[in-house]
Amino acid sequence: MTKKKKTKKLLLENKIRNGKRVRLKGLVAGLRKDRSYLKHKIQQQTDELKVKNGELRNGAEKQIRSEAQIQIDTALILEKDIEIIKQREELLHVTRVGKLAEFVSSLAHEISQPLTAILSYAQAAQRMLLNREPEIQKILSYIVNDDKRATEVIQRLRSLLKKSAPEIKPLDISTLINETIMLIATDAAVRNSVIKTELDANLPLVRGDKIQLQQVLLNLISNSFDAMENSLDSREILICTSRKDTDTIIIAVKDSGCGIPTQNMPKLFTHFFTSKPDGLGMGLSISRSIVESHGGQLNAENNPDHGVTFYFTIPIDIEDV
């Protein structure tokens, strides 16, 4: 082969090699470009999937929250319905109690008439047997005294049930307590309970409505009866009075019952709250309202041993100081 032909052959081989190298570079560049594009698309789709996944997660959380809220709302609705039913029953009970009060007031009026007749007959017999038959005179005196006591109880009961505006006037708190105990003495005997008193004899008068303050005492004593109902120990109520400070008298009603659970203390004086199956849940709230309208306070605390003490304050009559 001539030199010229060899040169041409070498040039041709170089062109072929260079062409292959160029094509290879282009192919590599294309692959790199495709790789970058694919990487970008993968990243883009990954981001889109993350967004969609987040949206799905948020939607699921919203759905869960929505279902939970629906359950809460349903429970609240059921709770409200139960509360409405209870309040309706309590209001019906209040209506029945109101009707009963009217009946008792009418009955008290009817009973007072034969009591008056019995008193007249007994006093007439006393006059007819004057200075004679001492044993019969003694029996007649018992009849007269018991008749007068029954009449006083009837009068107090009618006063307690009578609808009237509050009559604020000076009151002897010791006399008020003793008269209230006489009103509830029969109930105390039936329940096998004893009411004791420790009354300060040197207390000044207070200003208040007699019937309303009697209602407070009756409510507190009745609650004590209920609290001691299952007690195996002595069923004793102690009513104390003392001077709290220069302007206030404090009255305490202490029983030996079961006490009040700690969780019930904050709601003890709220309307319609009761721990008794047949309770109305209004006595203590009404009692606190009455005491506060008189310028005092009504509270309760458990005794160190057992039972509970309700105590309320009443301002003294300034004119009596």
Q: Residue 232: inside a domain, yes or no?
A: yes
Q: Output the tens digit of pLDDT for each of the chain's 321 residues.
A: 565 666 666 666 665 565 556 566 666 566 666 667 677 777 777 777 777 777 777 777 777 777 777 778 788 888 877 777 766 666 665 666 666 666 666 777 778 888 888 889 888 988 888 888 888 888 888 888 888 877 876 776 676 666 666 778 899 999 999 988 887 887 888 888 889 999 998 899 998 888 889 888 988 998 888 888 877 777 889 999 998 888 899 999 998 888 887 777 777 777 665 665 555 556 788 888 889 888 999 988 888 888 889 999 999 876 655
Q: Residue 181: inside a domain, yes or no?
A: yes
Q: Which domain holds residue 226?
A: 168-320
CATH of the domain at 218: 3.30.565.10
Please give the tally of structural domains in the chain.
Answer: 1
pLDDT of residue 312: 93
Let me know: does 312 contact 222? Beta carbons within 8 Å: no
The DSSP H or E segment spanning 301 is strand 298-302
pLDDT of residue 11: 61
Q: Residue 42: inside a domain, yes or no?
A: no
pLDDT of residue 270: 72
Residue 240 makes CB contacts below 8 A (sequence gap 6+) with 197, 198, 199, 251, 252, 254
Q: Residue 226: inside a domain, yes or no?
A: yes
pLDDT of residue 242: 92
The burial class, CB within 10 Å (0-12 / 13-18 / 19+), for 310 is: buried
Strand 236-245, strand 194-198: pairing = parallel
Q: Residue 269: inside a domain, yes or no?
A: yes
Q: Residue 157: inside a domain, yes or no?
A: no
pLDDT of residue 188: 84
pLDDT of residue 22: 55
Q: Residue 153: inside a domain, yes or no?
A: no
How far apart are alpha carbons 170 and 172 in whole angstroms?
7
How far apart are alpha carbons 193 and 190 in whole angstroms?
8
Query: CA nearest 167: which of 209, 213, 206?
Result: 209
Q: Residue 88: inside a domain, yes or no?
A: no
pLDDT of residue 239: 93
Let me know: does 171 contact 210? Beta carbons within 8 Å: yes
At residue 159's C-alpha, the angle toward residues 225 and 147, to 5°, is 80
